Structure 1
Amino acid sequence: MFEFDLDLNLLAYHSFKLGIAFILSLPIALNREMKESGAGLRTFPLVTIASCAFMLVGRSIFEGADAEARVMYGIITGMGFIGGGAIFKSEDGVKGTATAASLWNTAAIGISVAYSRYEIAIILSVISFLIFQFSEPFKSKDKL
């Protein structure tokens, strides 16, 4: 027989966590969207909330640090794979490395939020935004 059990407290808890992950991804996403990067306002929040959700589910289903670590390793590896797809090599050089790194970074934000390590998530969000916002004048002109 089909049983549907919805814990409203758990729904609120997970909504709160995913909401924080979403909000912390927005500065990076907005910056990348404004700079017309390949990934932007849709990609970064999706990466962050998905990473947070995978960790939340993993923490609630699996017991023990080893099992949770495997979920985290899966996220880290998967983000490396996705980030690798964002990197393009041409005769002019390599592009997309910052996008790849920032995708990995937003996954780390999501994982940090899932573990209630908000201080890490906030620092990652702020530093990433600052790097993207203020580093462009320091890039060599032939790479722009």
Structure 2
Amino acid sequence: MGASLDFLPHLGSLLFAYALAFPIDWDRERHERSAGLRTFPLVAIASCGFIQAAEPLIQGNAEATARIVEGLITGMGFIGGGAILVVRNSVRGTATAASLWATGAIGTAVGLGSYDTAIVLSLVTFFTLRALPNLKEGGEDDRRSAEESSR
């Protein structure tokens, strides 16, 4: 008997990973960061998709699963590195890079069926992006607002 096409569970997981990445994406886009509206959901669904695609090969093999996850971690580091810019004497994009890495972890967690972990990662990442810049006096968001109001 041939392989069956049971794509609905996979589609559900991919959509869940997409939905968990969207608030992070919205925050980065809202603040005009280098990675935009398409990037974060694509990172999440790609990470989830790699896990799902490898499922038949890694099922029940913790070492094989670890190798797939290790590759995803490395890939997220590479993508995040591309978001970091050195301009004059400052480094920009580290929060976006870390957000991309966290989004990859969200997709990986969904792909592995660790939905609770994925939800917590999404919430904590979004909270960190939204709340912590506001705690820092003279933070990046405050500087941008001051520049825009002086124009």
Question: After TM superposition, is the score higher than 0.5?
Answer: yes
Rounded to whole Å, the distance in 2 between the matches of 1:19 and 1:142 is: 34
1:21 aligned residue: 17
Rounded to whole Å, the distance in 2 between the matches of 1:68 and 1:38 is: 31
For these two proteins, the number of residue pairs brought into alignment is 139
Rounded to whole Å, the distance in 2 between the matches of 1:119 and 1:98 is: 23
Quote the offset at 1:142 in angstroms: 6.7
2:132 aligned residue: 135
Q: Does 1:76 align with 2:78?
A: no
Quote the offset at 1:82 in angstroms: 1.1
Instruction: Give the alignment partner of residue 87 of structure 2, picking from 70, 73, 90.
Output: 90
Q: Does 1:37 align with 2:33?
A: yes
Instruction: Give the alignment partner of residue 51 of structure 2, picking from 47, 55, 61.
Output: 55
User: Could you tell which deviates more after superposition, 17-26 or 52-61?
Assistant: 52-61
Quote the offset at 1:11 in angstroms: 0.3
Please state whether the residue corresponding to 2:91 is helix, strand or coil.
Answer: strand
TM-score where L is the length of structure 2: 0.85
Q: Which amino acid in the other structure matches residue 85 of structure 1?
A: G
RMSD: 1.7
Rounded to whole Å, the distance in 2 between the matches of 1:109 and 1:130 is: 15
Rounded to whole Å, the distance in 1 between the matches of 2:27 and 2:139 is: 21
The verdict on how the C-alpha distance between 1:60 and 1:140 changes in structure 2, with shifts beyond 3 A counting, is farther
Q: Which amino acid in the other structure matches residue 76 of structure 2?
A: M
Q: List gaps (5 residues or longer) in structure 1.
A: none
Identity of aligned residues (%): 45
The verdict on how the C-alpha distance between 1:142 and 1:127 changes in structure 2, with shifts beyond 3 A counting, is closer
Rounded to whole Å, the distance in 1 between the matches of 2:54 and 2:121 is: 22
Rounded to whole Å, the distance in 2 between the matches of 1:139 and 1:113 is: 32
1:102 aligned residue: 99
2:148 aligned residue: none
CA deviation profile, 1:30-55 (whole Å, cap 9, x unmatched): 11111111112100000000000001
Quote the offset at 1:6 in angstroms: 6.5
Quote the offset at 1:92 in angstroms: 3.7
Q: Does 1:111 align with 2:111?
A: no
The verdict on how the C-alpha distance between 1:36 and 1:69 changes in structure 2, with shifts beyond 3 A counting, is same
